[in-house]
A = this chain, B = another copy of it.
Amino acid sequence: MEKFLFRLLLRSPLTKAEQEAILALPGEEVRTQAHRDIVRPGNRMTYSCLVVEGLVGRFDQLANGHRQITALHIVGDFCDLHSLAVPETGWGIESLTDSVVRMVPHTALRKLVDSAPAYTMAFWRDTVVDGSILAKWNAALGRRSAKARLAHLLCEMGIRFEIAELGQRDEFDFPITQAQLADVLGVTAVHLNRTMQALRQDGLLVTNGSRISLPDAKRLRQVAQFDEAYLLLGGAQSR
């Protein structure tokens, strides 16, 4: 919860009292294995999920069972804060690794929102940034090659892990299987495997288990046409 608050404060000013109210948010913590559906698509939410440990994905499922992961959430992210505004879900949430998720009841969040307007703006801003990532991925999926998309994701996760103080932008732990990564990038697992090999041969990617190193960040950014602005949106807004 501290990490969530920390990142909220990057964009939205909150008084000390407001900050403490957020830290005091209740919620049951649930531990799950990898590859479990935490929220099944088509539910009506009565709580929002905060990632306490592990790596979690929001996904959209097609009739044939294929999944597209539409968002990755790391420690300190709320997966579905927007469900406070709109509780019906088309999407689902799955654990990508062994994870711990805190289910924060909407009743508690709503109490905050009703008590002062700053919370609503802060939460809204958080979901807007989530949406700007979605829009970027839209462009990537529509207009870029698998190689550029993979490079882009690696750049993005590097920045996000660094902001979250979970790693450095060119060296971090990213415990995701190739099949899951393929579901993020909208390719098959086979093709993803070959794409990763291509990046390795270009000297842009080194993997060691789930450890990712990006030896030539500059060139990787060029391949990805990566501009981190969309991740840093909304610095120091007014209330």
Q: Does A230 contact B (CB under 8 A)?
A: yes
Inter-subunit contact B229/A91 (CB<8 Å): no
Interface residues of A in 56-103 (CB under 8 A from B): 58, 60, 62-63, 66-68, 70-71, 82, 85-88, 90-91
Shortest CB distance A68–B (Å): 4
Other contacts beyond A85-B121, A120-B124, A127-B128: 13, CB < 8 A: A58-B135, A62-B225, A70-B135, A86-B128, A86-B233, A113-B117, A113-B121, A117-B117, A120-B121, A123-B124, A137-B138, A138-B138, A141-B142
Q: Shortest CB–CB separation between residue A151 and chain B, in angstroms?
A: 13
Pairwise interchain contact B124-A134, C-beta atoms closer than 8 A: no
Judged by DSSP, the binding face of A is helix
A13 within 8 A of B: no
Chain B residues within an 8 Å CB radius of A114: 117
- The 8 Å CB contact of A124, one of B11, B85, B91, B185, is B85
Given A60-B139, A120-B117, the answer on whether A125 and B86 have CB atoms closer than 8 Å is: yes
Binding site for B on A (CB under 8 A): 11, 42, 58, 60, 62-63, 66-68, 70-71, 82, 85-88, 90-91, 113-114, 117, 120-121, 123-125, 127-132, 134-139, 141-144, 185-186, 225, 227, 229-230, 233-234, 237
Q: How far is the CA of A156 from the CA of B124 in the complex (A)?
A: 25
